[in-house]
A and B are shown apart, each in its own frame.
Chain A
Amino acid sequence: MRVQGYDFMPQPAPLSTITGQQTAHITVRSLTKTFAGRDLYRDFNLDILKGKVTCIFGPNGCGKSTLLNTISGLIPYDSGSISFEGKTLDRVTIGYVFQNYRDALFPWLKAIDNIEYPLKVMGVSKSERDRRVRTLVESFNIQIDLNRYPYQLSGGQQQLISILRALITEPDVLFLDEPFSALDFETTLFIRDKLQEIFQSSGITMVMVSHDLEEAVFMADRVLLLTKSPTQIAEEVDFFSPRPRTPDTLASADFISTKAHCLQVFQAEVRR
């Protein structure tokens, strides 16, 4: 049950995995969720680091997306608490990028109106909306004709529009549900780089579900490896390689050993 009507909840004590200057942005405590008589989560605890990229990875059906959607408030949960630096979800601004841009963008609106839409919901004036879109587009050096409709753009451009739409409100956290899975390889590389650029210039907290281990490690500061359901954390693996990460990163000893370790944990989970 979520505590409604309170701006602030008592800040829970951090889990032991947080060290040094890292602070938790999102705190999940005793999360329990049942679905169709089955426990998806039972007494699940998690800290998501502030200003870092967290990638969620795990076996099929372990509830990667469910976890993301529960934290972002898209689906309800039975008991426990989820807080954003002590605040409830309705007190923070979040951005969400869906897996399938075709189903998530509004095809009846031009690209620019898609990006502006969250501001329109917030009641921002048209001139201010236009100004903010211009600033955002310029700051990420994006060259797309924003007066086109989504269906007149390529898949990569459409997903980029989705990402801009999620960022326009300057959210505290950006959630991404397998943002590359509907894109071809070339576009995936391009969007990955753009996301890194966005992350580096904004320092926003990102939480991303991935079904590709290499991609998860490549993008992440911390990889969250999940177990089969009822889901628990198998291990949290840190990968603090400097950014921007390039194809050279993929060849670095640090990357290879981190990925190998994650794979080991994953395989042990799948065989269990």
Chain B
Amino acid sequence: MAIRPRQARQKLFSLLLFNAGTIGVLAIWWIAWRLELINPTLFPDPFATLATLVRSLFGGDLIQDFGFTLYRTLYAFAIASVIAIPLGVIIGANRKVYQSFEFLIDFFRSTPATAMFPLFLVVFGIDDFSKIAVAAFAGSLVIFFNVAYGVMNAKKTRVLAAKIMGAPRWRIFLDVMFFETLPQTFIGLRTAVSLTLVVIIVAEMFVGSTNGMGHRIIDAQIIYDMEQMYASIIATGLMGYGLNLIFLSLEKRFVHWM
């Protein structure tokens, strides 16, 4: 069915209203640039920046760096999930064991993962994998903590309900505990994917990298290519935003009851 002009106008209006904040910030940026309120060598034209972003995405090599960073982030995230989910379930299922690990967990959770770079460099060498390993380490702590917490705080009534039906332990675990824990697990996964991206970007900036978005941002800064730098920052932001969006929609699909 064709959209009538009035409907189209209404749609456009609500779209503008919905993004009023974004448009406002862009406008302020443009005015600040236009009136040269901030040193123009540090603060480029927003529209030129967006143009650079589009140009680098479709014509330049930004997409390759984007791909490298995405690959490292997802690799680290996958390692973190595979290690931390089972561990979280096992340790979360036993409160005494969890308590005995509580200090260590809280300690490493409070330690910035980036402080561990030198250690990981020593252990894994200066190649790509040490970056992925640090990010996986940081991500796995977040996933582990959330999964264990989810297991510990599962609704006892549902477990009792299954027990009274005569369900054996493995069934209670697969049919009840797994789903009980799923909402908290997803929160852990979503937080972890954001965190692994942060760690990967920092690693690409400072830990001898020749590619990736972190390297690209630092490179642009060194040669004072501000448009490229801002464009790369925005592209990295889009990656983080996109990953979060994907996880939110997965969460909505798999945890439909929350």
Contacts and interface: CB of A to CB of B under 8 A. Distances in A.
A104 B166 CA distance: 15
Contacts, number: 44
B256 interface: yes
B244 to A, nearest CB: 23
Nearest to B160: A74
Given A72-B164, A121-B166, A149 B158 contact: no
Contacts of A203: none
A108 B179 contact: yes
Interface of A: 72-74, 94, 96, 98, 100, 103-108, 117-118, 121-122, 149-151, 169
Contacts of B157: 98, 100, 103-104
Nearest to B164: A96
A106 B171 contact: no
B161 A108 contact: no
Contact of B165 (A103, A108, A118): A118
Nearest to A98: B157
Interface of B: 155, 157-158, 160-167, 171, 175-176, 179, 182, 256-257
17 contacts: A72-B164, A74-B164, A96-B164, A98-B160, A98-B161, A103-B155, A103-B157, A103-B158, A104-B158, A104-B161, A105-B158, A106-B179, A108-B256, A108-B257, A118-B165, A121-B162, A149-B256
A108 B160 CA distance: 17
B208 to A, nearest CB: 47
Residue among B161, B182, B257 with most chain A CB within 10 A: B161
A73 B171 contact: no
A96 B165 CA distance: 9
A148 to B, nearest CB: 12
A90 B157 CA distance: 20
A122 B165 CA distance: 8
B167 A96 contact: no
B256 A94 contact: no
A118 B171 CA distance: 11
Given A94-B164, A121-B166, A149 B257 contact: yes
A220 B166 CA distance: 28
A179 to B, nearest CB: 14
Given A107-B257, A121-B166, A96 B161 contact: yes
Contacts of B160: 74, 98
Given A104-B161, A122-B166, 12 more contacts: A74-B163, A96-B164, A98-B157, A98-B160, A100-B157, A104-B157, A104-B158, A108-B179, A108-B182, A121-B162, A121-B171, A150-B257
A104 B161 CA distance: 6
B190 to A, nearest CB: 19
A34 to B, nearest CB: 21
Among B162, B165, B171, B182, the most chain A Cβ lie within 10 Å of the Cβ of B165
Nearest to B182: A108
